[in-house]
Amino acid sequence: MNEVVAKNPTMEGSSNWKQWLGIAFLVYLLLVAVGMIGSGFKLAAGPQAKDLFEFASNPITALVIGVLATALIQSSSTVTSIIVGLVAGGMPVEIAIPMVMGANIGTTVTNTIVSLGMMKQGEDFRRAFAAATIHDFFNVLSVVIFLPLEVAFGFLEKMGAYLANLMVGGESVSVKGFNFIKPLVKPPVEFLKDSFGSIGFTDMISGVVLSILGITLIFFVITAIGKILKVVMVGKAKDILHKAVGRGPISGITSGTLITVLVQSSSTTTSLIVPLAGSGVFTLRQVYPFTLGANIGTTITALLAATAITGGNAVFALQIALIHFLYNLIGVIFIYGIPFLREIPIYAAETLAGLAQKNKLYVAGYMLLLFVIIPLLLIGISELLF
Partner 1 sequence: MSEIQTHKQALKEKIDELEAKLEILKGELQKEEEIEQHKAIDQLDLYSSDLDTSFNTLKEFMAILRDEFKKTF
Residue among 30 and 114 whose Cβ is closer to partner 1: 114
Question: Binding to partner 1 by residue 360, rule CB under 8 A?
Answer: yes
User: Residue 279, SS3?
Assistant: coil
Residue 260's region, left for phi above 0, alpha for psi from -120 to 50, else beta, is alpha
> Which of 15, 22, 23, 117 touches partner 1 (CB under 8 A)?
117
> Which of 7, 9, 120, 198 touches partner 1 (CB under 8 A)?
120
> What's the 3-state SS for 37-52?
HHHHHHHHHHHHHHHH
Question: Binding to partner 1 by residue 159, rule CB under 8 A?
Answer: no
Q: Are 44 and 229 in contact (CB under 8 A)?
A: no
Stretch that binds partner 1, among 5-13, 197-205, 235-243, 319-327 (CB under 8 A): 235-243
For residue 90, the Cα-to-chain-centroid distance in whole angstroms is: 21
Instruction: For residues 66 and 281, give the distance between their C-alpha atoms in angstroms, rounded to a whole number.
Output: 34
Residue among 166 and 361 whose Cβ is closer to partner 1: 361
Give the shortest CB-206-to-partner 1 separation in angstroms.
Answer: 37
Instruction: For residues 152 and 59, give the distance between their C-alpha atoms in angstroms, rounded to a whole number.
Output: 11
String marking each residue 259-298 x if it binds partner 1 according to CB under 8 A: ---------x--xx--xx--x-xx----------------
Question: Binding to partner 1 by residue 5, rule CB under 8 A?
Answer: no
Question: Binding to partner 1 by residue 1, rule CB under 8 A?
Answer: no
Sequence-ordered list of residues with C-beta below 8 angstroms from that of 361, at least 6 positions apart, any chain: none
Question: Binding to partner 1 by residue 242, rule CB under 8 A?
Answer: yes
Q: Which residues of 303-320 are buried (b: 16+ CB within 10 A; e: fewer)?
A: ebbbbbbbbebbbbbbbb
Nearest Cα to Cα of residue 44 among 207, 200, 212, 192:
207
Question: Binding to partner 1 by residue 368, rule CB under 8 A?
Answer: no
Point out which residues bind partner 1 (CB under 8 A).
Answer: 110, 113-114, 116-117, 119-120, 230, 234, 237-238, 241-242, 245-246, 268, 271-272, 275-276, 279, 281-282, 359-361, 363-364
